Amino acid sequence: MTKDGIKGASAAESTARHIEELIVEGALRPGEPLLPEREMAVRLNVSRPTLRQGMKILEDKGLLVADASGSRVVAPLGSSFTDPLLGLLSSHETVVDDYLELRANLEMMAATLAATRANEVDREMLRRCMARIDAAHGKADAANEAEADVDLHLAIYEASHNLVLLHIMRALSGMLRRGIFHNRQTLYARPEVREVLRGQHRAIFEAILAGDPEAAGRCAEAHMSYTRRVIAEIAASEARLEISLRRIDGGNIASRSGKGRQ
């Protein structure tokens, strides 16, 4: 921000608007800490009292919050669901499938847009994410491969340069990281699934870098359709196992001590 950008009595409001713009465009991410006050004031070329007033405006709007240490961080935007409601939603199989259905459509849209709008900065971020997926895959590191998976998709949303889509998908990515709708590590625990997923991610990645929106959208749709099917299969398998276990101990309420199966 230049000196000309902040003047007079509206300096605090101008400071707040500048930080707001960084949040809206995705330069400042939810949960990301801000610089210490002294350094931030220098970067923005404003006085510390002006900066404090600007941040107070943003705190009143719910865009900034203080963490445990008292530092300012960007609020966890796009997560208006309460934790109890998320738990309730995630316990219903139909809602999980609805979530995946929504993601399938948004992922296809994001990949299509990214193929036409990605710049070299975006493409470099995509390359880094794909390299992380390859590295984790080579080490059979399911946890890191699952994290790199989410980060690749997030990089695609950023490369779409659609701000509404970006913030919606960042919120969904947060749910995905927390295992709200399904456990990604369970998905990556299957070697045959990991191999397919890596190939699908590479196909999306290469289509975007080639600037082929039709192929990018088609690959994204195929990827989400496969993921949706495998997650349904895992859920069905786990449900059958639970039934079998309940049959063994009578649901933990039958008196079978010392008795064989009748």
Is CATH 3.40.50.2000 correct for 3-74?
Answer: no
Question: Which CATH superfamily, name and number, covers 83-250?
Answer: GntR ligand-binding domain-like (1.20.120.530)
What residue type is 189 in one-letter code? A
Residue 170 to residues 100, 153, 192, 195, 197: CA-CA distances in angstroms?
15, 10, 28, 26, 21
pLDDT at site 9: 43
Q: Over 90: is that where the pLDDT of 134 sits?
A: yes
Task: Please give the share of the chain, as a percent, with pLDDT higher than 70.
Answer: 82
Confidence of residue 24 (pLDDT cuts 50, 70, 90): confident
> pLDDT (tens digit, 9 = 90+) per residue, 35-93?
999 999 999 999 999 999 999 999 888 888 888 787 888 887 555 555 555 555 665 66
Angle at 177 between CA 76 and CA 224, to 5 degrees: 115
Angle at 183 between CA 181 and CA 187, to 5 degrees: 120
Q: From CA 70, how far away is CA 93, in angstroms rounded?
A: 40
Residues of the chain with CATH 1.20.120.530: 83-250
Q: From CA 206, how far away is CA 213, in angstroms rounded?
A: 11
> pLDDT (tens digit, 9 = 90+) per residue, 220-255?
999 999 998 998 888 788 778 888 877 786 656 656
**CB of 43 closer than 8 Å to CB of 50:** no
Overall size of the chain counted in residues:
262
pLDDT at site 201: 97
User: Can you list the alpha helix ranges (DSSP code H) found in the chain?
Assistant: 11-24, 37-44, 48-60, 83-90, 93-117, 120-138, 142-160, 163-177, 184-188, 191-209, 213-249
Task: Please give the share of the chain, as a percent, with pLDDT higher than 90.
Answer: 42
Mean pLDDT computed over every residue of the chain: 84
